Structure 1
Amino acid sequence: MTHASHDLTLADIARHLNVAFEGDGSQPIRGLATLKDAQADQVAFLANRAYLKDLAVTQAAAVLLHPEHGKSCPVPRLEIDNPYLGYATLSQLFDPLPARDIPGIHPSAVVAESATLGEGVSVQANAVIEEGVVLGDDVIIGAGSMVGADSIIGEGTRLHANVTVCHGVVIGKRAILQSGCVIGGDGFGFAHDGGQWHKIAQLGGVVLGDDVEVGSCSSIDRGALGNTVIGNDVKIDSQVQIAHNVTVGDHSALAGCVGIAGSTHVGRHCMLGGGVGLSGHLTICDGVQVTGMSLVTNSIHEPGVYSSGTGAMNNAQWRKNAVRFKQLDEIAKRLSRLEKNHRGQS
């Protein structure tokens, strides 16, 4: 449930979405809610047919829905071809966060003299801006965040509290970095001499495009030599690990706990479900969707949906299947011998 810091009317909502509406345009709208929970001063939305049952009994002031469901709506409606996108648009009107964005440098923040700050920049309590940093206009550096030396952050980007941007990182415009994420930490680079490991200095950087979002506690490692590169409009969920020299193409999305090993290239418009793992040095072409908990060990050169792993099942059934899995190689050999004998007898 969300609430606006100021009242809007139903007519304001419709105007913002550029859609027609039925009902009292002066009706105050003070928030958004689900069909089931909405009150008489809130707007709800229907984006999934599974919730049609809730539409029939909703108490919302109005409902955002596709025209095909308009006749089923018992309250005023806002018809739009993509209700979920409409909901995303409206959610920005009710976000209380921008009201707290006060430009200026908090007295407890530490900003190097050589740093360059644009207009309207906000550096909040206990943040650290190191030497040579460039912050574009309207950048927000949250409390306790650190921006390493010679990093560049584009206009309108927000770092929430306790974000770490290491040295030599480039971040585009309007990016959002959620609390606890680390951009530009050292990649996992070590050489082994047969007895112990020797650290390889990570000499590259990280480049994030425009409109990128990185979820809380995610890590994007700097490159060993060249850069780790994240394209424009890439959305990265919480607790995602992206290793050194990975590239992720524009408009791709990575759900929680995805892990991508070093030097793998992910194309444009790809979607990696939660828990997906990609081995190193692979190429994933544009338009690939990998479903949750899949492990990808070979490159993918054709767009489409890919899966590995098995869905949950009754433990007794799983134990039987696990035994069968260990027998597959022998079963395949026996089948091959049978087919060979059958061909010999034909």
Structure 2
Amino acid sequence: MTAITLAEIAQALGGQLHGDASILISAIAPLETAGLAEITFLSDARLVALLQSTRAACVIVHPAQAEQAQARGACIVTRDPYLYFARLTQWWRKRLGDMPEPGIHPSAVVHPDAQIDPTASVGALSVIEAGVHIGAHTRIGSRVTIERHCVIGARCVVQSGAVIGGDGFGFAKEGQTWVKIEQLGAVHIGDDVEIGANTCIDRGALGNTVLAQGVKLDNLIQIAHNVQVGENTAMAACVGISGSTKIGANCTLAGGVGVVGHIELADNTHVSGATVISRSLTEPGRYTGVYPFEPHAKWEQNAAVLRQLKKMRDRIKSLEKELAATQARVSPQQES
């Protein structure tokens, strides 16, 4: 793509442009490294000092930083610089012309019974099995597997290596062996969902595993059978959700979160990284269960103490009983 003017960007995306509208922009770059022909953004007020040192041709800023930004050069003022940046990347990529074209790559294997909207794209070496439905303008990356009877809505993005509709982990014990429970459900995915690379979403055992519209999943996430995820919930890398759990709408799960099976998380629940959720959360809010790291030698000392917690608890209870008995004996003497 040839360089474009700031005027073209503002005309396409809005915002208040201050400075020379004819400045040519050749790329989008980070605040710290942006050059004289590049546009950048400031969304974190803690980085405002970088406004003085950045060489960027234009900075996208919040109204609170507008005066400082104008003092250094051209800027676009908007209420949400990060959102503006996101819109800019989408617009920029479309102008570059490197969005996948609609259609099915010749190396993809697609079952004749699969229904793929003609505006969708299916990448190289992907496998689409019988009964699959893929909606309009959905993009399926390379080496994606979508197994039988799964449904994917419109405008979804499935990144390379994802597996949708693999068997859930279900077995019954017979003596010392395991008997497989055939997974007879499917996966239903709503509109505008994004699924990261190498993420796995298991099909339901009887009913369906369901991701509502607007869900965003990072790479290397495991969604087990019969899980339900509410609208616009987002999960970062390496999250694991056990079977039959219900995650509410507008939730966020940071990297490495684990959620046990057969529980529910309320709408607007936010879980900090590496936390393990072992019971239902009925109230919205932020939940954290990560023990802070520390030097190894100190961690060993604290771990040794933790191993003694039950003994310490029992000892404290015993002391409390002794103290209560002593107080009971002393009180009558004081009254007399």
The 3-state SS of whatever aligns with 1:183 is: strand
Counterparts of 1:102 and 1:210, CA distance in 2 = 18
In the alignment, which of 273, 283, 291 is matched to residue 302 of structure 1?
A: 283
1:176–1:211: 8 Å Cα contact kept in structure 2?
yes
Gaps of 5+ in 2: 328-336
How many Å apart are 1:343 and its aligned residue? 2.9
Are positions 1:324 and 2:320 aligned together?
no
Given residue 7 of structure 2, which amino acid in structure 1 is its aligned partner? A
What's 2:15 paired with? 19
Counterparts of 2:211 and 2:195, CA distance in 1 = 10
Are positions 1:291 and 2:272 aligned together?
yes
Counterparts of 2:84 and 2:63, CA distance in 1 = 13
Counterparts of 1:187 and 1:265, CA distance in 2 = 16
What's 1:32 paired with? 28
Counterparts of 1:204 and 1:334, CA distance in 2 = 53
What's 1:42 paired with? 38
The 3-state SS of whatever aligns with 1:47 is: coil
What are the equivalent positions in structure 2 for 1:68-217 lying under 5 Å apart?
A: 68-73=64-69, 74-95=72-93, 99-101=97-99, 103=101, 121-217=102-198
What's 1:106 paired with? none
The 3-state SS of whatever aligns with 2:270 is: strand
Which entry has the higher C-alpha Rg, 1 or 2? 2
Aligned residues: 325
The 3-state SS of whatever aligns with 1:21 is: strand
Counterparts of 1:331 and 1:240, CA distance in 2 = 40
Same amino acid, percent of matched pairs: 39
Are positions 1:58 and 2:39 aligned together?
no
2:103–2:118: 8 Å Cα contact kept in structure 1?
no
CA RMSD of aligned residues (A): 1.5
How many Å apart are 1:54 and its aligned residue? 1.8
In the alignment, which of 273, 276, 280 is matched to residue 257 of structure 2?
A: 276
Counterparts of 1:209 and 1:186, CA distance in 2 = 20
Q: 1:102 to 1:47 in 2, by over 3 A?
A: closer
2:187–2:209: 8 Å Cα contact kept in structure 1?
yes
What are the equivalent positions in structure 2 for 1:245-260 lying under 5 Å apart?
A: 245-260=226-241
How many Å apart are 1:309 and its aligned residue? 2.9
Given residue 89 of structure 1, which amino acid in structure 2 is its aligned partner? R
| C-alpha distance after superposition, 1:32-86 (max 9, x if no partner) | 1011111121111001123223211111111001111122221211111111111
The 3-state SS of whatever aligns with 2:97 is: helix
Given residue 145 of structure 1, which amino acid in structure 2 is its aligned partner? S
Gaps of 5+ in 1: 104-120
The structure with more helix, counted as a fraction of residues: 2
1:288–1:304: 8 Å Cα contact kept in structure 2?
yes
Counterparts of 2:96 and 2:150, CA distance in 1 = 25
The 3-state SS of whatever aligns with 2:60 is: strand
* Mean Cα deviation higher: 159-168 or 332-341: 332-341
Given residue 238 of structure 2, which amino acid in structure 1 is its aligned partner? C
Q: 1:149 to 1:95 in 2, by over 3 A?
A: same
| C-alpha distance after superposition, 1:61-115 (max 9, x if no partner) | 1100111112222121111111111100101122269724575xxxxxxxxxxxx
Counterparts of 2:110 and 2:99, CA distance in 1 = 18
Given residue 301 of structure 1, which amino acid in structure 2 is its aligned partner? T
